[in-house]
Structure 1
Amino acid sequence: MTAVYDTIGINYAALRQPDPRIAATIANALGAARTVVNVGAGTGSYEPGDREVTAVEPSIEMIRKRPATAAPAVQASADELPFDDKVFDAAMAILTIHHWPDKAKGLRELRRVTRGPIILLTFDPAQRPWLTDYLPELAALDERNMPRLDAYADWLGPVRIEPVPVPHDCTDGFLYAYWRRPEAYLDARIRSGSSSFWSIGGLDAGLSRLADDLASGEWDRRYGHLRAMDQYDAGYRLVIAD
């Protein structure tokens, strides 16, 4: 079995440290669930330590990067979960659905194996964080890969959708985490922690313009108000299907 993170997960464990504030939001959504399946689990970010977690991850390289204290992991794909029906109290899938080859089938599988809530952390492709002004390819990528928010009810039935604000000092280096730290996007190592930067080409012109605007003060003239904010709605959403 091959998976995208077999190739791009080089710095993932170091750059994608779970943010405790986002972790608290996810834990609260899981409610009283004691057994949880985490699909697209990666290196174990956001897996609650006070519950019985079973991780599912297609990339063997990501599984190898999971710490010894992490939950046991099964190498499998979201659209073919190797579990019986209704064996878990809850399911979670964190910033992963855009990688699934068959999103509808994967979500049906989560519903099949879960008797309680399904918690998804995803991104609203209708949103346009400031980085897309420099790299419009990111917006196009989001539109191609991220399901529209109204699709989740079609797949899962009634859902609640809640915004997940990104803290200014977020420890998890996902794509738009550095909204108040624009200089970070000029660092190739920082960019390597987000699959989106591996998926698009032609970055040089946009990054050069960002560097010029930071040096000249143009970025601060346009977006400097963000530097005074503690958190920001970058478009991340928690989808909860009870």
Structure 2
Amino acid sequence: MTTYDRIGATYNHTRRPDHRIAVKIHEALGDASTVINVGAGASSYEPPHTVLAVEPSAVMIAQRPAGSARALQASAESIPIADNSADAAMAILTVHHWTNLEAGIEELLRIARQRVVIFTWDQAIFRRFWLLDEYLPEVAAFTDTRSVLIDRLIALLGDARVETVPIPHDCTDGFGAAFWRRPAAYLDPNVRAGISMLAQTGEEVVLPGLARLSSDLSSGLWHERHADLLDCETLDVGYRLLVADL
């Protein structure tokens, strides 16, 4: 059983792709006319010319909408397709779940002819996010163990340009820091179920910190402390696109 067989059942409700992030990902794919999505989940951010989705979790594959690309149940570390099978390979918020990063990156480089695009985060920036820094240090420690250094990815790719992806205040994709200006969302267990760092850390660990967040929201302390965020349209919380031209 994969991680997402256990925690992925609600993803098509809380993890709807954000069109502004989609634009950045699709621009990074450039002129690729065929794309393979590795660690594809429920199909978020797949462009129309996606020819194959590689996903190990049957629970996630079952949530893929009708008409989406054909799904192959396989892991990123061992993809049973030919070399140079598509112009581009993309991996969206997935590399931190791979059991063998080196093998997974080798597979991306093997199956792509022109380009590899990876959406991930810079942990040095991400762990300063107020939710982790002020309320959930245990989750910050957990993400320290799971995150992948940007420099390590660049080295494995052989080189890549790095693009900052600011997160809109009304982001529709409920990943880790998507609710940076909507703190009450983190009090919703359905939202938390769609955020792997919270779901994997466990409710018994996160509930004390969330109780403090609830109290600070009720008293107005959170809004006083983060008044500077309330007028921001986007925020750099550490999310990054890596684009490697082959």
TM over 0.5, shorter chain: yes
Structure 2: gaps spanning 5 or more residues = none
How far apart, CA to CA, are the structure 2 residues paired with 1:183 and 1:10? 22
Amino acid at match of 1:131: L
How far apart, CA to CA, are the structure 1 residues paired with 2:61 and 2:43? 9
Contact 2:9 2:60 in 1 (8 A): no
Cα offset for 1:183? 0.6
Contact 1:35 1:52 in 2 (8 A): yes
How far apart, CA to CA, are the structure 1 residues paired with 2:4 and 2:50? 25
Cα offset for 1:203? 1.1
Equivalences, count: 240
Query: 1:52–1:192: structure 2 CA closer, same or farther, 3 Å change rule?
Result: closer
Amino acid at match of 1:116: Q
The alignment's C-alpha RMSD in Å is 0.9
3-state SS of 1:119 partner: strand
How far apart, CA to CA, are the structure 1 residues paired with 2:150 and 2:115? 17
How far apart, CA to CA, are the structure 1 residues paired with 2:17 and 2:110? 28
Identity of aligned residues (%): 50
Contact 2:37 2:50 in 1 (8 A): no
Instruction: Tell me whether 1:214 sits opposite 2:217 in the alignment.
Output: yes
Instruction: After superposition, give the CA deviation of every residue in 1:17-53 in whole Å (9 maximum; x if it has no partner).
Output: 000000000000001101111000001000002x142
Cα offset for 1:138? 2.0
Counterparts in 2 of 1:6-25, with a 5 A limit?
6-25=5-24
Counterparts in 2 of 1:60-71, with a 5 A limit?
60-71=58-69
TM-score, structure 1 length as denominator?
Answer: 0.97
Cα offset for 1:217? 1.2
Cα offset for 1:187? 0.8
Match of 1:26 in 2: 25
How far apart, CA to CA, are the structure 2 residues paired with 1:68 and 1:221? 46
Match of 1:167 in 2: 168
**Structure 1 consecutive aligned stretches of length 4 or more whose deviation exceeds 2 Å:** none
TM-score, structure 2 length as denominator?
Answer: 0.95
3-state SS of 1:169 partner: coil
Point out the more displaced range, 216-225 or 11-20.
216-225
Cα offset for 1:153? 2.0
Match of 1:115 in 2: 113
Match of 2:148 in 1: 147
Instruction: After superposition, give the CA deviation of every residue in 1:166-191 in whole Å (9 maximum; x if it has no partner).
Output: 00100000011000000111111111
Amino acid at match of 1:3: T
3-state SS of 1:115 partner: strand
Structure 1: gaps spanning 5 or more residues = none
How far apart, CA to CA, are the structure 1 residues paired with 2:51 and 2:174? 23
Match of 1:184 in 2: 185
Match of 1:198 in 2: 199
3-state SS of 1:55 partner: strand
Match of 2:84 in 1: 86
How far apart, CA to CA, are the structure 1 residues paired with 2:219 and 2:96? 36
